[in-house]
Structure 1
Amino acid sequence: MGANLDLIRATYEGASEDNGRNLVAALAPDATWTEAEGFPYAGTYVGIDAIIAGVFHRLATEWIGYSAKVHTYLEDGDRVAAFGVYSGTYKATGKSMTASFAHLYRVSDGKIATMVQYVDSHLVMQALEN
């Protein structure tokens, strides 16, 4: 395993608080984080504050038991892919979901420079519908 893979793995495999701390420490100050089209938080967020507010704060406050469990990592130079399954219950509707995802990271100088999300957003959006 390489250092890039270790960096990414540390953002998924601990307790939620540890993963969050590790992610903030791993993000480059100008990191870009792209949520997939059709996902509730679709768009590209730039910078640590925008990423935390636009994605992670919302996941923590709008969902019950939201998780991203990775089953496979692949490393290719400065790129690391994480494949797994999201799950959680949307508070406003009480509906649960599970959906497969892939996250593609690019690491530069030991920091996450970019992340692009690929997900079956239809399964996620069904949890938001009344």
Structure 2
Amino acid sequence: MGLIAMGANLDLIRATHEGSSEDNGRNLLAVLAPDATWTEAEGFPYAGTYVGPDAIVAGVFHRLGTEWIGYSGKVHTFMEDGDRVAAFGIYSGTYKATGESMTAHFAHLYEVRDGKIASMVQYVDTLLVNRPIVPDA
């Protein structure tokens, strides 16, 4: 494994968050490892671990894009520790079926291997995300 400049992993993750939704999606697909794992938190609407870019896009991003209006995850802080990068931010969006909106703080922990995202684990207050989906719960 070659040496990676300090900040390179952080820059790789930053490029998947700070552009338009289309740019972020394109940048993410370009840097997902073929066997990348993407773990949505237990209790999150799309909870589970998805393996590989196709499963990640279908299981998470397609659903976010079609079931929500204006869904976004705006990162305010990135931290890098070797091959791990943490991103902290706020989700927001309106659930189409109910017209109800939410905001919720999140953390994503990425592991980067050979310039590709090997894994992502999501941490979020799932109650806040689920309120607009099941407003009376």
What TM-score bracket applies, with the shorter chain setting the length?
over 0.9
Q: What value does the CA root-mean-square deviation take over the aligned residues?
A: 0.7
State the distance in 2 between where 1:127 and 1:78 align.
Answer: 36
From the CA coordinates, give the structure whose radius of gyration is larger. 2
Gaps of 5+ in 1: none
Q: Tell me which stretches of 4 or more aligned residues in structure 1 moved more than 6 Å.
A: none
Equivalences for residues 48-87 of structure 1 within 5 A: 48-87=53-92
- Give the % identical residues: 82
d(CA) in 2 for partners of 1:129 and 1:31? Answer: 31
Task: Note if 1:111 corresponds to 2:110.
Answer: no
Aligned letter for 1:50? A
Aligned to 1:30: 35
Unaligned 5+ segments in structure 2 are 1-5
Aligned length: 130
SS in 2 for 1:84: strand
When normalised by structure 2's length, the TM-score is 0.94
- 1:14 aligns with 19
1:71-129 Cα offsets, whole Å, 9 max, x none, are 00000000000000000000001000000000000000000000000000000000101
Is it true that 1:45 corresponds to 2:50 in the alignment?
Answer: yes
Tell me how far apart the structure 2 counterparts of residues 129 and 48 of structure 1 sit (CA, whole Å).
Answer: 29
